Amino acid sequence: MPFILPPTIHDALVTRLLRRLTAVDSDEPLTIDFSRVGFYEPGAVIALLTRLRHWKEKGRQLSATGIRQSPSKRYLQRIDFFAHLGIHLEEDFERLPAQSRFVEICRIKNSQVNALASKVARCMASQCEEPEEIRSCFAYILGELIANVDQHSGGAGFLSAQHYPDKGSIHVAVGDCGVGIRRSFEGTHLEEQLRTPRAALEKALEPTVSSALLRPPSGPYQGRNNRGLGLSMISKLISETHGQFRLFTENAVYEQIGDVSFKFDETSHTHPGTLASLSINTDEITNFNEVIGEISNRVEPSELDEWDEMFESPKDELDSSP
Amino acid sequence: MNLTLRLKDTFGPFLGDGAEGNEFRCQKIEPFWDSYERIILDFEGVDSMTHSFVNAFVGNLVEAHPRDFREKLVFKNCSPLVKTFIKGALSFAKTRIPA
CA atoms within 13 A on the CB side of A281: 11
Residue A318 with chain B: CB contacts under 8 Å:
2, 38, 40, 74
Residue A321: band (very low, low, confident or very high) from pLDDT cuts 50, 70, 90:
very low
CATH number at residue B19: 3.30.750
Closest by Cα among A117, A72, A109, A58 to B50: A117
**Chain-chain contact of A143 with B50 (C-beta, under 8 angstroms):** yes
CATH number at residue A115: 3.30.565.10
Residue B60 with chain A: CB contacts under 8 Å:
223-224
**Chain-chain contact of A140 with B49 (C-beta, under 8 angstroms):** yes
Residue A125 in any domain: the answer is yes
Question: Where in chain A does DSSP place strands (E)?
Answer: 3-4, 8-9, 30-33, 39-40, 62-65, 102-108, 157-164, 169-176, 244-250, 252-257, 260-265, 271-281, 311-312
How many contacts does A have with B, using Cβ atoms within 8 A? 170
Residue A216 with chain B: CB contacts under 8 Å:
none
d(CA A289, CA A305): 16
Q: From A117, which residue of chain B is nearest by alpha-carbon distance?
A: B16
Residue-level pLDDT at A253: 93
Residue A132 in any domain: the answer is yes
Residue A170 in any domain: the answer is yes
Residue A278 in any domain: the answer is yes
pLDDT digits (tens, 9 = 90+) for A250-305: 999 999 999 999 888 877 778 989 999 999 999 988 888 888 888 777 666 666 67
**Chain-chain contact of B84 with A292 (C-beta, under 8 angstroms):** yes
pLDDT digits (tens, 9 = 90+) for B8-24: 999 999 999 888 999 99
**Chain-chain contact of A304 with B87 (C-beta, under 8 angstroms):** yes
% residues pLDDT > 90 (chain A): 51
The total number of structural domains that make up chain B: 1
Residue A1: band (very low, low, confident or very high) from pLDDT cuts 50, 70, 90:
confident
Q: From B91, which residue of chain A is nearest by alpha-carbon distance?
A: A302
Residue B44 with chain A: CB contacts under 8 Å:
314
| For residue A244, pLDDT beyond 90 | yes
* Domain, as residue range, for A144: 101-309
d(CA A141, CA A161): 12
d(CA A113, CA A182): 23
Residue A225: band (very low, low, confident or very high) from pLDDT cuts 50, 70, 90:
low
Stronger pLDDT, B45 or A226, i.e. the higher one: B45
Residue A181 in any domain: the answer is yes
Residue A40 in any domain: the answer is no
pLDDT digits (tens, 9 = 90+) for A128-183: 888 889 999 999 999 999 888 877 666 579 999 999 999 999 999 999 998 888 88
**Chain-chain contact of A292 with B91 (C-beta, under 8 angstroms):** no
| For residue A322, pLDDT beyond 50 | no
Contact yes or no for A141/A171 (Cβ under 8 A): no
pLDDT digits (tens, 9 = 90+) for B75-86: 999 999 999 999
Distance from CA of A282 to the nearest CA of B (A): 18
**Chain-chain contact of A312 with B75 (C-beta, under 8 angstroms):** yes
Distance from CA of B3 to the nearest CA of A (A): 5
Residue A48: band (very low, low, confident or very high) from pLDDT cuts 50, 70, 90:
very high
| For residue A6, pLDDT beyond 90 | yes
Sign of the Cα torsion A225, A228, A231, A232 reads negative
Residue A74 in any domain: the answer is no
Among A96-105, A237-246, B67-76, the minimum mean pLDDT is found in A96-105
**A272 backbone dihedrals φ, ψ, rounded to 5°:** -70, 110
% residues pLDDT > 70 (chain A): 86
The total number of structural domains that make up chain A: 1
Instruction: Look at residue B74 and give its three-state secondary structure.
Output: strand
Question: Model's pTM, two decimal places?
Answer: 0.88
**B47 backbone dihedrals φ, ψ, rounded to 5°:** -85, -45
**Chain-chain contact of B88 with A322 (C-beta, under 8 angstroms):** no
| For residue B44, pLDDT beyond 90 | yes
* Domain, as residue range, for B12: 2-95
